[in-house]
């Protein structure tokens, strides 16, 4: 077994690998860029070593620097995590030459399966179901149009070395094919250093289901059932679960056997994932094989009890798989939600900056948090915006969903935008809960984007009950401090006027030795809580149900966030409510004649000039943030009067790019 492992990665996956290595008694080395000098994975590791500037090309993608770091620290092996160099065959070859073990599959498997063109050819040869497409490298935008027409729209343009939604575009016509090809090439080059792009038929409304495989250096390969990864946005997985509620056992076995056959065709000897798209009739087609640890691996670990990182380490050290196919069991259900630093109310644009407040949900046998940050961490523009993964385990799907919703309500993050409200809203969707999902779920359920969570009448009343309790506690505390209430008094009652979303309704609050009761909407809400003023999350049992509600103090009222919805609530006396009705709302500033930067990022190009007449839908500029290109287009006809940004410059959120007449 290895004495020391260097983790050639950062963030949550580096922390994840460190945890298993520590459990196995193996020392760890963290590498870090300028941007990650004080990162959590650096703090956790036994040793640390600096490898370069913030851009990934100067640090986490620089194989020579990483190998030098391993030699300097005396590491026996390198675990690549996911992304960066995890599927780089040249990196593996260099490690072999230096006598350093790569904790992953052999370089031939990485080379063949990591290339989406060659992998499809091999899959066909191995008898795996494949999607129709063009497996040659597309040379330019015009060839992309020609190929797309031959295949038939819609078509998926994909980076050959891609993954994680980078370098992928679905196109429905010739213009989209031209623009999509350019963006796919640019993203592929910046993310993977490989700008090759191919095309395949885009199968509409499929499910994305993948099979986890494990192999060793002795010819043994097994599969560990499947993961359902259909909840995606821009081809990036958002919520994953294991097993799938859709697959029949017969389909599961067929997919598993084909995955093993494909793995054996390349002598696969580590953890890997074979991804499929599955249509409504359970016909399945090979999509790609990821020759690395997947982001969503925890759901498989929770239902099988198998530590995949440990298996990777043991396999790389030459040990035989200690698990046989007949011993692989599926116990319970696990669901994972990816928490990203992004603003779902602004089209899910990345959010960067310092995390000023950070409180994770309590971890236990049913809740697992894989995170790479802490309070004070910096979310950089240089890397993927994922903050953490929240994984819930239950005896069945309904229980796992309920536990995940409760954990997300307990999560408290300030300083950067995040998608927790959106995740909660998806989980409570009747369609999601029924299991009627596809890769178009988000597109179909949120046609106009995410505009805030949907609030049920019951959730509405619970939020009113909590706001009333919070306000009453504050008033009671102030009264006690000022001497207007006997400190030994055990009861407090008041009638409040509660305003939420423009509506006002009364709420009666009564606090006794036995707890708190709020009467609102003709219903009684019994509130049992240990909450105290100032706590950011109101944890309570309300009418025998556990709830977690985020409470933010405003100058006049409270903003409560619960189950994916956020509401501003005012709790006032009768007289205060009367006076509030006379207050005039401040009109928002008209910014319609400005193009503002929707997220912090780098200006890739300015595609218009001052004085130019523009048409609705015309491309104005391209902004890159976290390796994703975002094309900003004109919302209406007009004329450019002034351009304030320049190509190559960096912009803050809401910074003005150009003005219109």
Q: Which residues are catalytic?
A: 288
CA distance 192 to 127: 29
* H helices present in 487-626, as ranges: 574-580
Closest among 519, 599, 585, 531 to 560, alpha carbons compared: 531
Strand partners, 342: 350
* C-alpha to C-alpha distance for 15 and 40, rounded to whole angstroms: 7
Structure tokens at 165: 């939604």
Record the tokens describing residue 14, joined without a space.
Answer: 């580096």
**Of 363, 220, 378, 391, the residue nearest 303 (C-alpha):** 391
Tokens of 296: 């969503």
Q: Are 426 and 443 in contact (CB under 8 A)?
A: no
Closest to 149 measured CA to CA, from 167, 173, 181: 173
- 3-state percent helix, strand, coil for the chain, nearest multiple of 5: 30, 35, 35
Question: How far apart are alpha carbons 652 and 283 in whole angstroms?
Answer: 46
Rounded-to-integer distance, Cα 327 and Cα 322, Å: 10
Q: Reduce the DSSP state of residue 118 to 3 states and report it.
A: helix
- SS3 assignment, position 258: helix
Phi, psi angles (nearest 5°) of residue 45: -70, 160
* Cβ contacts of 17 within 8 Å, gap of 6 or more: 5, 7, 9, 28, 79, 81, 309
DSSP state of 321: P
H helices of 242-396, in order, are 249-265, 297-304, 308-316
- Three-state DSSP at 38 gives coil
State how far the alpha carbon of 195 is from the alpha carbons of 121, 140, 326, in Å.
20, 11, 42
Read off the DSSP letter of residue 3: S
Instruction: Return the C-alpha torsion angle 101, 103, 107, 110, nearest 10.
Output: -170
DSSP H or E run through 482: helix 457-482
């Amino acid at each position: 077994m290895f004495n020391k492992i260097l983790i050639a990665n950062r963030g949550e996956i580096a922390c994840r690998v460190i945890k298993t290595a520590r459990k196995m008694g193996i020392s760890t080395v963290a590498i870090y860029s300028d941007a990650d000098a004080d990162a959590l994975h650096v703090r956790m590791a036994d040793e640390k070593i600096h490898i370069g500037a913030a851009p990934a090309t100067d640090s986490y993608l620089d194989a020579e620097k990483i190998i030098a770091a391993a030699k300097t620290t005396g590491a026996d092996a390198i675990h690549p995590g996911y992304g960066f160099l995890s599927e780089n065959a040249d990196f593996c070859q260099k490690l072999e030459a230096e006598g350093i073990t790569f904790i992953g599959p052999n370089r031939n498997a990485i080379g063949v399966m990591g290339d989406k063109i060659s992998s499809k050819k091999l899959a066909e040869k191995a008898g795996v179901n494949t999607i129709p497409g063009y497996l040659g490298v597309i040379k330019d935008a015009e060839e992309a149009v020609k190929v797309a027409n031959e295949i038939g729209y819609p078509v998926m343009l994909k980076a050959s070395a891609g993954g994680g939604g980078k370098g992928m575009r679905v196109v429905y016509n010739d213009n989209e094919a031209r623009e999509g090809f350019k963006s796919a090439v640019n993203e592929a080059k910046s993310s993977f250093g490989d700008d090759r792009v191919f095309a395949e038929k885009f199968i509409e409304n499929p499910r994305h289901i993948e099979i986890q495989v494990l192999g060793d250096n002795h010819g043994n390969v097994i599969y560990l059932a499947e993961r359902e990864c259909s909840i995606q946005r821009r081809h990036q997985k958002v919520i994953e679960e294991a097993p799938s509620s859709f697959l029949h056992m017969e389909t599961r076995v067929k997919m598993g056997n084909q995955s093993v056959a494909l793995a054996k065709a390349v002598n696969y000897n580590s953890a890997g994932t074979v991804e499929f798209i599955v249509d409504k009739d359970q016909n399945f087609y090979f999509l790609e094989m990821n020759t690395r640890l997947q982001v969503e691996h925890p759901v498989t670990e929770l239902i099988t009890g198998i530590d995949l990182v440990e298996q990777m380490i043991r396999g790389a050290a030459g040990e035989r798989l200690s698990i046989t196919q007949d011993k692989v069991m599926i116990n319970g259900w696990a669901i994972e939600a990816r928490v990203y630093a992004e603003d779902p109310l602004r089209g899910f644009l990345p959010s960067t900056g310092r995390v000023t407040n950070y409180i994770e949900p309590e971890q236990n046998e049913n809740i697992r948090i894989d995170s790479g940050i802490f309070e004070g961490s910096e979310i950089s523009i240089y890397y993927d915006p994922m903050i953490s993964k929240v994984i819930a385990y239950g005896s069945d799907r309904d229980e796992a969903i309920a536990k995940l919703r409760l954990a997300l309500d307990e999560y408290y993050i300030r300083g950067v935008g995040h998608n927790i409200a959106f995740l909660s809203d998806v989980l409570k969707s009747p369609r999601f809960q029924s299991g009627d999902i596809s890769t178009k779920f988000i597109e179909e359920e949120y046609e106009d984007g995410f505009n805030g969570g949907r609030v049920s009448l019951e959730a509405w009343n619970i939020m009113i009950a909590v706001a009333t309790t919070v306000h009453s506690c504050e008033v009671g505390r102030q009264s006690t401090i000022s001497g207007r209430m006997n400190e030994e008094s055990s009861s407090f009652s008041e009638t409040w006027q509660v305003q939420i979303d423009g509506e006002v309704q009364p709420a009666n609050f009564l606090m006794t030795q036995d707890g708190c009761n709020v009467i609102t909407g003709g219903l009684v809400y019994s509130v049992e809580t240990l909450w105290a003023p100032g706590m950011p999350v109101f944890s309570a049992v309300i009418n025998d149900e556990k709830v977690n509600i985020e409470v933010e103090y405003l100058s006049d009222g409270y903003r409560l966030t619960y189950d994916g919805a956020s509401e501003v609530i005012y709790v006032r006396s009768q007289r205060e409510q009367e006076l509030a009705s006379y207050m005039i709302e401040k009109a928002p500033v008209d910014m319609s004649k400005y193009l503002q930067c929707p997220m912090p990022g780098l200006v890739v190009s300015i595609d218009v000039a001052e004085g130019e007449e523009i048409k609705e839908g015309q491309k104005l500029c391209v902004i890159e943030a976290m390796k994703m290109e975002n094309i900003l287009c004109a919302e209406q006809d007009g004329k450019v009067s002034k351009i304030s940004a320049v190509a190559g410059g960096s912009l803050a959120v809401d910074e003005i790019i150009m003005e219109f007449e």
